[in-house]
């Protein structure tokens, strides 16, 4: 039973690693999408930065890839902007 659970976890990890961030994937992210919508397309971000001021929350999610970095900017839990920056490192 434990071996099966470990095998499933390893398979999921490999699938997540194989979904490289690309300009095409980032182009699927549209304004007003929710964080859950974005995760369904890109998976979990490698890192996040959050801030809040005067009732506005902001978050930048980072998705590093071999050719650059995807960045998704959220304002109040909806996508404001998504971009792919070639050559950027996380």
Please report the pLDDT score of residue 5 as a whole number. 45
Q: Which of 89, 86, 79 is nearest to 42 (CA)?
A: 79
Give per-residue pLDDT as tens, 58-85.
999 999 998 999 999 999 999 999 999 9
Residue 27 is assigned to a structural domain of this protein: yes
Output the pLDDT for position 89.
73
Q: Is the pLDDT of residue 4 over 90?
A: no
Please indicate, yes or no, if residue 75 is contained in any of the structural domains.
yes
Report the Cα 76 to chain-centroid distance in Å. Answer: 17
Q: In this structure, are residues 28 and 84 in contact, taking their beta carbons and an 8 Å threshold? A: no
Does residue 10 belong to any structural domain of this protein?
no
List, for residues 33-65, the tens digit of each pLDDT value: 999 999 999 999 999 999 999 889 999 999 999
Q: Is residue 74 part of a domain?
A: yes
Spatial separation of the C-alpha atoms in residues 45 and 56, rounded to whole Å:
21
The count of domains in the chain is 1
Q: Determine the structural domain holding residue 42 and report its residue range.
A: 21-86
| pLDDT greater than 70 at residue 12 | no
What is the band of 6 on the pLDDT scale with cuts at 50, 70, 90? very low
């Amino acid at each position: 039973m434990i071996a099966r659970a470990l095998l499933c976890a390893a398979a999921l990890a490999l699938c997540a690693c194989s979904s490289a961030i690309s300009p095409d994937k980032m182009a699927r992210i549209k304004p007003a999408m929710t964080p859950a919508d974005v995760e369904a397309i890109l998976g979990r971000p490698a890192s996040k930065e959050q801030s809040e001021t005067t009732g506005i929350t902001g978050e930048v999610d980072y998705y590093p890839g071999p050719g650059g970095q995807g960045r998704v900017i959220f304002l109040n839990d909806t996508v404001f902007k998504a971009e792919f920056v070639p050559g950027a490192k996380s």
